[in-house]
Amino acid sequence: MTAASNAFIEISGLTKTYQVRPRFFARSRPLAAVAGVSFTVEEGGTFGLVGESGSGKSTIAKMLMGAELQSGGDIRIADRRFGSRLSAADDAWRRRALQPVLQDPTSALNPRLRVASIVAEPMRVQRSQPDDAAYERRVIELLEKVGLTASHARRRPSELSGGQRQRVAIARALALEPRVLVLDEPVSALDVSIQAQVLNLLKDLQAELKLTYLLISHDLAVVAYMSSRIGVLYLGQFMEIGDKADVIARPAHPYTQALIAASEPEHAASLDRVMGEIPSPLAPPPGCPFHPRCQQAVARCRVDKPLLRPIGPNHQVACHLAG
Ligand SMILES: Nc1ncnc2c1ncn2[C@@H]1O[C@H](COP(=O)(O)OP(=O)(O)OP(=O)(O)O)[C@@H](O)[C@H]1O
Ligand SMILES: [Mg+2]
């Protein structure tokens, strides 16, 4: 993949292999959770990662954040390289510059603390403000940024709605002025009626604060609404990657086409009901990893693994039959 010169995040050949025991007394075997993934995210842009459960989305997010060390490949953020050896200074920079917003705001927020303490905590750790009054001002400023008010500062998480709790988690993520938010299923735990409000808040914050987003969702509609570029992940590999206009309006991979069909309300069928379950990543199929579920598979797909290849200026697909 060619690296755009304005790429803020550049990921190349990223892999993560876990050793797992399929049964308690079995010998451990390698599980390729992420099997050679490359993409770039431009500054201020949103890269959307979509795929079914177990496809490797969160593992990519954890490696980007430094919560997991990659087995192979390279991560560059703002021209800093995060390979298998890390400099302490780069690591400290990354911990501040990248902040997570996760699926479940209830478990992410300490139930015993008041909102003011929750939002102030990362700043207290870094001693980023001179005195208590400055912390209080900054907490109120952050709460207002996410659509809450000073009156929420005194409440505990249990006294807030799910959407308000996710706003608190976003306020805390913004406290140290990050450059990147890693959004792992940020609205999946919320009522559908609340999801759009939180997504629109994230869009407004991105424009105001020039934030770069990695957005993870199993919901293609969420990814399509938010992203400038989209990668479709299957068993740890991209089946298709490209600008939103290409991937959503001209999906070239049968898997992307199936995801789009399943996301249309009149079908509203879950993918596994249509296509059966995703194969175990401990025993990935030979050839194209998607071939056992693919309606269009031909003999070649069972033996010959398709590599990502360009089918448009910003559009790549890993399918023998596409284009
Ligand atoms: N610490 C671990 N040890 C062993 N296997 C793991 C570990 N973490 C993840 N895996 C495996 O790696 C694969 C990818 O997991 P990952 O959590 O990245 O998927 P995901 O796309 O985020 O799924 P979901 O939509 O369910 O969150 C899965 O098969 C998972 O079981
Ligand atoms: Mg996940």
Q: How far is the CA of 73 from the centre of ligand 2 (A)?
A: 20
Residue 1 lies in a domain: no
Residue 78 lies in a domain: yes
Rounded Cα gap, residues 244 and 250, in angstroms: 9
Q: How many residues belong to the chain?
A: 323
Kindly provide the residue ranges of all beta strands, DSSP E only, lying in 21-55, ordered along the sequence.
Answer: 29-42, 46-50
Closest residue by Cα to atom 24, ligand 1, is 53
Determine the pLDDT at residue 4: 46
Which residue segment(s) compose the domain that 139 sits in? 7-317
Determine the pLDDT at residue 113: 96
Residue 270 lies in a domain: yes
- Structural domain total, the chain: 1
Determine the pLDDT at residue 268: 58
Supply the pTM of this predicted model. Answer: 0.94
Determine the pLDDT at residue 271: 63
Residue 2 lies in a domain: no
User: For the chain, which residues score pLDDT lower than 50?
Assistant: 1-4
Determine the pLDDT at residue 1: 46
Ion ligand 2 neighbours (CB, 5 A) are 58
Determine the pLDDT at residue 206: 98
| CATH assignment at residue 255 | 3.40.50.300
What is the sign of the dihedral through the CA atoms of 106, 117, 130 and 90?
A: negative
DSSP 3-state of 240:
strand
pLDDT in tens, 161-192: 999 999 999 999 999 999 999 999 999 999 99
Residue 295 lies in a domain: yes
Site to probe by mutation for ligand 1, drawn from 15, 21, 31 as the one with most ligand atoms within 8 Å of Cβ, is 31
* Closest of 218, 229, 193 to residue 40, by C-alpha: 229
Say if strands 180-184 and 98-101 run parallel, antiparallel, or are unpaired: parallel
8 Å CB contact between 246 and 312: yes
